Amino acid sequence: MSAPAYQASCDSCGAPMTYDPAAVGLACDHCKATKALAVTAVDLLPYDSWKQQDDATEEVFQVTCEGCGASTTLPPRVTTGTCPFCARTFVAPPSAVQRIRPGGVLPMSVAHPKAVEAYKAWIGSRWFAPNDLKASAVAGAFAAVHVPSWRFDAHATTQYTGQRGEDRTEHYTETYTDSDGNTQTRQESRTVTDWYSASGSPRPTSPSS
Ligand SMILES: [Zn+2]
Ligand SMILES: [Zn+2]
């Protein structure tokens, strides 16, 4: 697993701190002291104002796995590592790319031992899972990966044309032959659909959050 890109130091002993999902905060690697994470609401900016920010993008070091093709970012000054998706060692050196700076990070909510436990229980119930996959569960070969996602709100206008069907009940007289061979009539009803051309522009609704 690669080292975190944003490193915090322990207030008590100065050792590096690592994010601990169980504590929803940082835990000192050395003296186990913990520090709560400052959780702040993320400002959602209109695209134009976001683009004018000086720090809208940032330079990161990215490496593409020659095994599975996944792109992964590495912390600054780190040049080697293994792919978090297929565990292959990176061969090509990382290259600098500009990418959109994340507006926020959702912290991991499941601690590593719990994730291994849950995976072991799940893979154990898969009869046809390859043995290699089951062995990876035993080894606890897990890497935490942040998956980038974007949220967009948009005001959009759309138009439609089509057919609108309206159901109505139609009464009719049915002729039939009774058990004595006589012709009889009876009243029946059925549902028929009348079709009309329809077109318009749906009224905009406020974006759901
Ligand atoms: Zn410490
Ligand atoms: Zn890979």
Query: From CA 37, how far away is CA 24, in angstroms rounded?
Result: 7
**pLDDT score of 137:** 67
Answer yes or no: pTM beyond 0.85.
no
Q: Are residues 117 and 133 located together in one domain of the fold?
A: yes
**Does residue 40 or residue 190 have the better pLDDT?**
190
Residue 172 lies in a domain: no
Angle, vertex CA 59, rays to CA 99 and CA 101, nearest 5: 45
On whether residue 89 sits in a domain, the answer given is yes
Number of domains composing the chain: 3
114 & 135 share domain: yes
Same domain assignment for residues 78 and 117:
no
Better-predicted residue by pLDDT, 42 or 209: 42
Cα gap 59→80, rounded to integer Å: 18
Kindly tell me the burial class for residue 94, based on how many C-beta atoms sit within 10 Å of its own C-beta (0-12, 13-18, 19 or more): buried
Where among 104, 123, 139 does a domain terminate? 104
Which ligand is closest in space to the CA of residue 33?
1
Q: CB count, 10 Å around CB of 53?
A: 10
- Domain-embedded: residue 208: no
pLDDT at 19: 84
pLDDT band at 172 (very low <50, low <70, confident <90, very high): very high
Q: Mind listing the pLDDT tens digit for each residue in 58-111?
A: 888 999 999 999 988 887 788 888 888 888 888 888 899 988 887 777 888 888
| Model confidence at 40: pLDDT above 90 | no
Do 31 and 70 lie in one domain? The reply is no
For 181, left (φ over 0), alpha (ψ -120 to 50), or beta?
left
C-alpha 144 to ligand 2 mean position (Å): 14
In a domain, 138, yes or no: yes
In angstroms, what is the span from residue 19 Cα to ligand 2's centroid? Answer: 24
Ligand with minimal distance to 63 CA:
2
pLDDT at 134: 75
Residue 27 belongs to a domain: yes
DSSP codes joined into one string, 52-121: TSTTSEEEEEEEE-TTT--EEEE-TT----B-TTT-PBP-SPPEEEEEEPPS--PPP-S-HHHHHHHHHH
* Amino acid identity at 125: S
Q: Which two tokens stand for residue 152?
A: 């967009």
Residues 134 and 115 in one domain: yes
Three-state secondary structure call for residue 174:
strand
**C-alpha of residue 107 to centroid of ligand 1, in Å:** 21
pLDDT at 139 over 70: no
Q: Is 94 in the same domain as 113?
A: no
Tokens of 35: 């520090």
86 plus 118 within the same structural domain:
no
Range of the domain at 81: 54-104
Asked whether residue 3 carries a pLDDT value surpassing 50, the answer given is no
* Distance between Cα 148 and ligand 2 center (Å): 17
Domain-embedded: residue 126: yes
For 149-167, the pLDDT digits (tens) are: 887 787 888 899 999 999 9
In a domain, 49, yes or no: no
Task: Give yes or no: residues 84 and 64 share one domain.
Answer: yes
112 with 147, same domain: the answer is yes
Query: Residue 180's CB: how many other CB atoms inside 10 A?
Result: 6
Residues 29 and 62 in one domain: no
Q: How far is the CA of 27 from the centre of ligand 1 (A)?
A: 8
Sheet holding 16-20, edge to edge: 8-9, 16-20, 25-28, 34-36
Q: Residue 130 falls within a domain, yes or no?
A: yes
